[in-house]
Amino acid sequence: MALAKPCSGSVLSGSLGISETQVQGQLLATGRAKFEQTALSLDREAWFAVFTSSHHEKKVSHRFLEQHLENFLPLYSEIHRWTNRRKVTVQLPLFPNYVFVRIDRRQRGQVLQVPGVLAIVGRGYEPTPLPDFEIESLRSGLHLRKFEPHPSLEVGTRVRIRVGPLEGMEGFLVRKKNNLRVVLTVPLIDKSVAVEVDAGDIEPASRH
């Protein structure tokens, strides 16, 4: 979600030697911190990233369902060729070793007792909630776009998706096999995915 430029931004930049980009970054960090504090201070449900044992994502998701815990395991399709040259389509975790679960504070112990769960991702000893917007956008977009894992990027053109279920999400623009893709990153777990887009669906992130 884009932040409006503060009216006093240019004054702060000039008098304190801080760039407008730094000012906006601080405001964004402050906004996320307030969200996290609210989610943790209230006994309300929020999304968390759960770190699992390797190749246990589907089992953990299934056990969450058995315990009536709402969860989200993003999957993508990949064609595998067996030794007999037969091709099969398999469903693989989009974020290896991670499952997202929606719980309140009282359910953390229940989550950690599920076989295959190693930890609830957070900073220090406190689990960190994820904004509902990020999870719901990803959940909606999976049915309409082609996703696949992608290495996290440090450089590239940052763009914003302007239409569709992923509207408002930002990432880096890359090209693969003559198709445009936007690499979306979940900073908390340092994982990225690439989603196919049309040129008309994106705009420079700095435009707002």
Q: In the 3-class helix/strand/coil scheme, how is the chain assigned residue by residue?
A: CCCCCCCCHHHHHHHHCCCHHHHHHHHHHHHHHHHHHHHHHCCCCEEEEEEECCCCHHHHHHHHHHCCCCEECCEEEEEEECCCCCEEEEEEECCCCEEEEEECHHHHHHHHCCCCEEEECEECCEECCECHHHHHHHHHHCCCCCEEEECCCCCCEEEEECCCCCCCCEEEEEEECCEEEEEEEECCCCEEEEEEECHHHEEEHHHC
Query: Tell me, which fold does domain 133-208 have in CATH?
Result: SH3 type barrels. (2.30.30)
Structure tokens at 29: 């960090």
pTM over 0.85? The answer is no
* Superfamily, domain 43-130: NusG, N-terminal domain (3.30.70.940)
What percent of the chain has a predicted confidence (pLDDT) above 70? Answer: 75
Mean pLDDT of 58-76: 96
For 98, how many CA atoms within 13 A lie in the half-sphere containing its CB? 17
* Stretch among 4-13, 50-59, 180-189 having the lowest mean pLDDT: 4-13
Extents of the domains making up the chain: 1-41, 43-130, 133-208
How far, in Å, CA of 101 to CA of 70, rounded?
Answer: 6
| Cα–chain center distance at 122 | 14
- pLDDT tens, residue by residue, 87-111: 888 889 999 999 999 999 899 999 9
**pLDDT confidence of residue 172:** 86
